Amino acid sequence: MIHVLVTLLSLALLAGGQSAPRPNFSGAWKMNLAKSDFGQMPAPDSMTRSITHAEPALTIDEELGPQKTTRKYVTDGTPTTFESNGVPVSSTASWTGDTLLVVSKVEAMALGIDDTMSLSADGKTMTSVVAVNSPQGAATLTIVFEKQ
């Protein structure tokens, strides 16, 4: 009887350790302004992301108007740093279920940014829910991208 219980417990642990494949954000993405919500903040005219995602490496090349930024993350929570307009930004990226949470801090501006990225079931829509915390207050933006 003990052998049966040990075997069942081992099988349950093995099954529990196997997870569904993570979403892959790779591709060219263009913001859909009509589906996005910038709240009280002014909406940009255009925003694109070109993403290369080979788990656990994630690179986002983003164009927001004339500003271009390249961000590199490791989705296992390893800290990374990049520059945006000459200002250092420290970040971590980690999975919560099938969503990716990127937590960034800009110490020089006392700015915190949490970007929760998810994909639609068909993989054609990516949604970023961005929570911004600054000395001026907090804001939440929802940016919807469509795969090109």
At 92 the three-state DSSP class reads: strand
| pLDDT digit string, tens, across residues 36-61 | 999 989 999 999 999 999 999 999 99
Whose tokens are 């990225």? That residue is 117
Q: Distance of CA 53 to CAs 17, 59, 62, 128, 130, Å? A: 23, 6, 14, 16, 20
CA dihedral 41, 71, 101, 33 (to 10 degrees): 40
Domains of the chain, first to last: 23-147 (2.40.128.20)
Q: Which residues are bridge partners to 139 per DSSP?
A: 132
CA–CA gap between residue 104 and residue 131 (Å, rounded):
10
* Cβ proximity of 127 and 117 under 8 Å: yes
Which ranges of the chain have pLDDT less than 70? 1-20
- Mean pLDDT over each residue of the chain, to the nearest integer: 89
pLDDT in tens, 88-104: 999 999 999 999 999 99
Read off the pTM: 0.84
Let me know: does 116 contact 15? Beta carbons within 8 Å: no
- The whole-number pLDDT of residue 19 equals 61
